[in-house]
Chain A
Amino acid sequence: AQTVTQSQPEMSVQEAETVTLSCTYDTSESNYYLFWYKQPPSRQMILVIRQEAYKQQNATENRFSVNFQKAAKSFSLKISDSQLGDTAMYFCAFIHAGKSTFGDGTTLTVKP
């Protein structure tokens, strides 16, 4: 079974600064997908970024980028130029063969 660990239950960052959220996972599979989801207080789950394990290039979506280290089984999320609207809980997710495993989340607070 796969496991996903987010070791930082809570983090904070000043507006306009950069923050990195960590995620590690454990699997024996070689082909899988990794995701970061954002859950603001509205409770809606929003896809932030997606990484395919067979691609070495790190995914980027505007201010969001990942550092994917397949050998180390690490998948961290970097948020640049943090905005107040980035305040949310962030979940790392691993998906293989139709089944998903989510981490317990990191609550990020962006301070003005």
Chain B
Amino acid sequence: NAGVTQTPKFQVLKTGQSMTLQCAQDMNHNSMYWYRQDPGMGLRLIYYSASEGTTDKGEVPNGYNVSRLNKREFSLRLESAAPSQTSVYFCASSEARYYGYTFGSGTRLTVV
């Protein structure tokens, strides 16, 4: 049982490049989330999807877009990467919004 799978694990981008972070869960969870974690800080919510077909902004949505492709998959896109987006990105899922989250192993993104 894989849980939450994120790809890639590491990525280096040049300023202005675009990329999509992929996330898939195999636990039949309704809710999925994207977070970023900056050094020495907690996680900040970028976007979340309470159920298939819906997405909502979190605390720090600027510069990002998301797609809830189906119940399993929730992708995060950076259209024009900036150095301020250098961070570790985590995808998570939960059976319902109030249940504990299952996290992926993270993507370390560096924008130069």
What is the interface of chain A, defined by CB distance below 8 A to chain B? 4, 33, 35, 42-47, 50, 52, 91, 93, 95, 97-105
Contacts and interface: CB of A to CB of B under 8 A. Distances in A.
Interface of B: 31, 33, 40-45, 48, 50, 56, 58-59, 88, 90, 92, 97-103, 105-106
Given A43-B106, A45-B92, A102 B44 contact: yes
B42 A95 contact: no
12 contacts: A35-B100, A35-B101, A43-B106, A47-B102, A91-B42, A95-B97, A97-B97, A98-B31, A99-B58, A100-B45, A100-B58, A101-B59
Nearest to A49: B100
Contacts, number: 54
A47 B101 CA distance: 7
A52 B98 CA distance: 9
A98 B106 contact: no
B37 to A, nearest CB: 9
Label chain A's interface by main secondary structure.
Answer: strand
Contact of A45 (B48, B56, B90): B90
A35 B31 CA distance: 17
A33 B42 contact: no
